[in-house]
Amino acid sequence: MESTVGKREVARKEKKGLQISDILLIGILLAAGAVLKFFVGTIINIGMKPNFIIAMYCLIILLVKPGIIEAAIIGILAGAICQFFPGQPYINFVSELAGAVAMCLLIRIPLEKIKLPLKTVACTFLSTLVSGFSFIGVMYFLYYARPNMLIAAPTPLAIFLAIIFGTAAINAVIVQVLYIPLKLVLKKE
């Protein structure tokens, strides 16, 4: 008598889109980034401070691992939140979109030889640079790209570069410090 019992296979559903818990995490971390940007910005006013909104969307993308379109939406949401803070209006929509998409693409690069903490730091640093250079590029294009304005732009580019690189370094540290504990608490892969 032959056994008719076969192997049972469990079909796994592929994750399509963001889950409710991912959307809640996005909202909570972007709100936390906005609150931190507001309060730290008023306490620390030395010209060099972290951009907590960029740090939070980098952290979100590391934890949630969204698709490119979802990362773009996260970037646009971050840009919308930036509209509530002083600065150049509307430019953050472009810069945060570019930074979020860059982060999404960077975390997909297979870097087996690089340990995870270094990859986290490198991806956040580079994404912040993309966001910062996008911001400066759009701003210079909109305000200073006239032939008579190229000679005397009001703020030297070197000052912006120092701010962008300093912010990128601070954001990379913030994301690295928060990533591993949040990953463990949220039980993310």
Predicted confidence at residue 110, as pLDDT, reads: 80
Question: Helix (H, G, I), strand (E, B), or coil: what is residue 52?
Answer: helix
pLDDT single digits (tens) 54-87: 999 999 999 999 999 999 999 999 999 998 887 7
Return the CATH number at 141. 1.10.1760
pLDDT single digits (tens) 132-177: 999 998 988 887 766 655 555 556 777 888 889 989 999 999 999 9
Band the pLDDT of 6: cuts 50, 70, 90: low
CB atoms near residue 94 (< 10 Å): 18
One-letter amino acid at 41 equals: G
Distance between first and last Cα of the chain: 45
- Domain of residue 76, residue span: 20-41+48-186
Residue 167 lies in a domain: yes
- Both tokens assigned to 65: 């691992």
Count of domains observed in the chain: 1
pTM of the predicted model, to two decimals?
A: 0.81
Band the pLDDT of 119: cuts 50, 70, 90: confident
Residue 5 lies in a domain: no
Q: 24-33, 106-115, 164-173: which range is least confident on average?
A: 106-115
Residue 143 lies in a domain: yes
Residue 25, C-beta contacts closer than 8 angstroms, at least 6 positions apart: 60, 63, 64, 186
Residue 35 lies in a domain: yes
Band the pLDDT of 127: cuts 50, 70, 90: very high
Residue 80 lies in a domain: yes
Q: What percent of the residues of the chain are helix, what percent strand, and what percent coil, each to the nearest 5?
A: 65, 0, 35
In percent, how much of the chain has pLDDT > 90? 40
Residue 150 lies in a domain: yes
Residue 10 lies in a domain: no
Residue 182 lies in a domain: yes
